[in-house]
Amino acid sequence: MRESRRVFYLCLLTFFVKCSTLEEIKAKPGDDVTLQCQGPRQGAIELLEWSKHDLKDYVFYFRDERSYENFQHPAFHGRVELRDPQMKDGDMSVILKNVNIKDTGTYECYVGDKLITVNHLTVTDSTWTCTGLSVSVLSIAAVVGLVIFGKL
């Protein structure tokens, strides 16, 4: 019986740690979000690519000091721009405007062929978040633990 309790609490702890360390951007439909990317601070950027895991086309494509919308996936036309068009201090972050549920996913920032940053965006109407859920589960687990261990 004690072993099963240990397994239960270990699983609960693993769930909480995973949720609390997950780096993710949360947004509601219609929001504008910034996908962060910090690249080299000096030198001209010859090639910057923002991609989304489940798409063949780019989210944003920048080469030779200009962006190319014809390489973008149609869902992102007119909705993505550099936060700082001069990319001062290596800021290659992009602003994704008017997000929707279909924008949920993992985005990668590449400079040349080097992966610089990974962002995970979750777009949802729900107010339940990983943190809120984990706090609720931990509160319930604490009460159950007190009841169980209090009787021993």
Compute the average pLDDT of residues 94-110: 97
Question: Would residue 11 count as lying in a domain?
Answer: no
Q: Which residue has the higher pLDDT, 133 or 123?
A: 123
Q: Over the stretch 19-78, which tens digit does the pLDDT of each residue have?
A: 323 348 999 999 999 999 998 888 888 899 999 999 999 999 999 999 999 999 999 999
Q: How many domains does the chain have?
A: 1
CATH number of the domain bearing residue 97: 2.60.40.10
The domain of 114 spans 24-128
Compute the average pLDDT of residues 132-141: 56
Compute the average pLDDT of residues 132-149: 58
**143: number of CA atoms within 13 Å, CB side?**
5
Whether residue 109 has pLDDT greater than 80: yes
Question: Would residue 14 count as lying in a domain?
Answer: no
Tell me, what's the pLDDT at 43? 80
Radius of gyration of the chain (CA): 21
CA 52 – CA 149 distance, rounded (Å): 48
Give residue 144's identity as a one-letter amino acid code. V
